[in-house]
Amino acid sequence: MNLEFGKATPPTLRIGPSLAVVSALLARLFALDPMFFSTSNRSLLLLPILLASTMPVPLRLAAHPSVDEQLSQLDQVETQRRCDGAAELKRGDLHRSRQDWAHARAAYDKAAACDPQLDEVDFARGLLELESGNTPDALPYFNRYLGKHPDSPQALLSRGRARAKLERSVDAIADFDRAIELLRDPQPDHYIERARAEVGAGRNRDAVIGLDRGIARLGPVPALQRLAIDIEVADQRFDVALQRVDAAVAGGVNREAWMVRRGDILEAAGRPSEARQAFGVALATIASRPEQQRQAAALQELEEHSREALKRLAEKLPPAR
């Protein structure tokens, strides 16, 4: 029985007895008298095609099986083969996906017993310990797997996360760097994790440099821009942060959010008059949107934030003329 876990396998189209009999009969008639299939009898050649067209067509299911359905499939495999390491590894992954740590651990143990050469069990065990909060126990599994598969980006990312949680920031950065180098399509989160590890190591400048590399590779991703700005503000590099905000506003995406952020930075920099002006521009820009767009929750939050900031600043400044 061929089971592909996570996929719905369509039923195989089988030729029924009637189609087989008709095909054989027509072949025999042709062998006995090729002239039988004259113009008047030529339509008989279409019989197999007509019969086939009445048969059921393979049905492909659009939805993936649920976790319970996949576990049921694995139970069928276990019935046929008492010790299948790959099936037990899959079973463990399914239990881990719903945080059933005990059953996942038992399945991984059985997978290792069934197939001691199945290296992926070490990686899966590492993920289990990391996700269940037993971070120190995850590292030996990741180390063992990476000892055999040093160029696995997913394993490097996972070990980097474990090391970052254990405040081994420099080691985590090395893992993130290598994973990003190996990945064909790194994601913004990978650069963000790396930057946070740099901050954890007290290397804010290197964190920003890494984020800029991500922006250069992936484009002006707002999440990368926001974190770079936050680090600049934390370092009190307000003018540099404002330059980054201005570049984001010029990009034309989420302009109102960047305008509000500009006001926040100016207020943090102790420049209340400029901050009041920035929040005023943000409110005017929001007000210029069509009514339906202004009802969006995100814009309403920005508007409320700006109005509260203006009230706060009004206590520090004379009324605007």
pLDDT tens, per residue, the chain with 321 residues: 343 333 333 333 344 444 454 455 545 544 545 554 444 454 544 444 444 444 444 434 445 678 767 766 666 655 456 789 999 999 999 999 999 999 999 999 999 999 999 999 999 999 999 999 999 999 999 999 999 999 999 999 999 999 999 999 999 999 999 999 999 999 999 999 999 999 999 999 999 999 999 999 999 999 999 999 999 999 999 999 999 999 999 988 899 999 999 999 999 999 999 999 999 999 999 999 999 999 999 999 999 999 999 999 998 877 655
Q: What is the pLDDT of residue 80?
A: 57
Residues in Cβ contact with 249 at an 8 Å cutoff, skipping those fewer than 6 apart: 255, 258, 259, 262
The CA distance from 122 to 129, in Å, is: 11
* Burial class of residue 187 in the structure, from the number of CB atoms within 10 Å of its CB (0-12 exposed, 13-18 middle, 19+ buried): middle
The CA distance from 107 to 92, in Å, is: 5
Q: What is the pLDDT of residue 41?
A: 53
Number of C-alpha atoms within 13 angstroms, CB side, residue 82? 0
The CA distance from 174 to 212, in Å, is: 18
Vertex 95: Cα angle to 92 and 97 (nearest 5): 110
Nearest Cα neighbor of 199 from 175, 228, 220, 222 is 228
Strands (E), 126-283: none
The CA distance from 58 to 11, in Å, is: 6
For residues 251 and 221, is the Cβ–Cβ distance under 8 A? no
The CA distance from 203 to 196, in Å, is: 10
Q: Would you call 231 helix, strand, or coil by DSSP?
A: helix
For 253, other C-beta atoms within 10 Å of its C-beta total: 11
Q: What is the pLDDT of residue 65?
A: 77
Q: What is the pLDDT of residue 56?
A: 45
For 274, other C-beta atoms within 10 Å of its C-beta total: 16
For residues 127 and 138, is the Cβ–Cβ distance under 8 A? yes
- pTM of full prediction above 0.85: no
Q: What is the pLDDT of residue 168?
A: 98
